[in-house]
Amino acid sequence: MRVVRQILLALRHGLTRPASGCGCAALVTHRLPKRDPPPGRSCYDADMALIVDIRHWLDERGELPRVNVQIFRQALRVAQLIEAGGPLEAGQFRETLVACSCRPTRKPCLGLLWVEKAEDDRIWAYCVTCKREEIWISGWQGTLWAEGPMEPASHAMFTPPQNVN
Ligand SMILES: [Zn+2]
């Protein structure tokens, strides 16, 4: 049986709950023991994966929180993973340009995270280089980044229509 433990990211990062947002358990994450724990440490805690519901990190408009730079950076990183993983079909995966945050052997991992769409529609992000960073993202479906990068825009799109009379 997998034991689910709840921790506050605030404890790890020294953050406080954002002033805006849904007001529920903001920044609360769940960490699950990995199925086959390797020896040594992961970038979070030994044998743990970060599980996040991105809705708890966004403001009331569904945008990135601007009240704290550390929270902003964390939320931005997850948003980038959503942008890459949201458009995938179940079972598909791709590489992102999000750098791994682990420091195996006390040196930064130079790997990039991959994202995969899980069967339960969550986005699973992981580092194939060090195999230590692992993030499960839920609540992404209604976000601004769910359908991938924004469509190409040009200046013409923002020019008022010409008066042809
Ligand atoms: Zn890594």
Q: Calculate how far, in angstroms, residue 24's C-alpha sits from the geometric centre of ligand 1.
A: 31
Determine the pLDDT at residue 132.
93
Ligand 1 center–CA 46 separation, angstroms: 14
Cβ within 8 Å of residue 98, ≥6 positions away: 77, 80, 81, 84, 112, 113, 125
Residue 12: what pLDDT? 32
For residue 94, list its beta bridge partners.
115
Report the half-sphere exposure of 23 (CA within 13 A, side-chain side).
1
Least confident range from 5-14, 23-32, 88-97: namely: 5-14
Q: For 40-91, what is each residue's pLDDT tens digit?
A: 333 444 446 899 999 999 999 999 999 999 999 999 999 999 999 999 999 9
- Count of CA atoms in the C-beta half-sphere (13 A) of 26: 17
**How far is the centre of ligand 1, averaged over its atoms, from the C-alpha of 108 (Å)?**
8
Q: What is the pLDDT of residue 28?
A: 38
The Å distance, Cα 159 to ligand 1 centre, comes to 45
CA dist., res. 41 & res. 104, Å (int): 8
pTM of this structure: 0.71
* 114-160 pLDDT tens trace: 999 999 999 999 999 999 999 999 999 999 999 999 999 998 888 77
Distance from the alpha carbon of residue 44 to the mean position of ligand 1, in angstroms:
12
Inter-CA distances, 122 with 147, 152, 162, Å: 14, 27, 46
pLDDT, residue 16, reads: 32
How far, in Å, is the centroid of ligand 1 from the Cα of 86?
21
Q: Which two tokens stand for residue 130?
A: 């060090």
According to the model, what pLDDT value does residue 69 have?
A: 94
Q: How far is the CA of 37 from the centre of ligand 1 (A)?
A: 16
Q: What is the pLDDT, as a whole number, of residue 111? A: 96
Q: Rounded to whole angstroms, how far apart are CA atoms 90 and 70?
A: 31
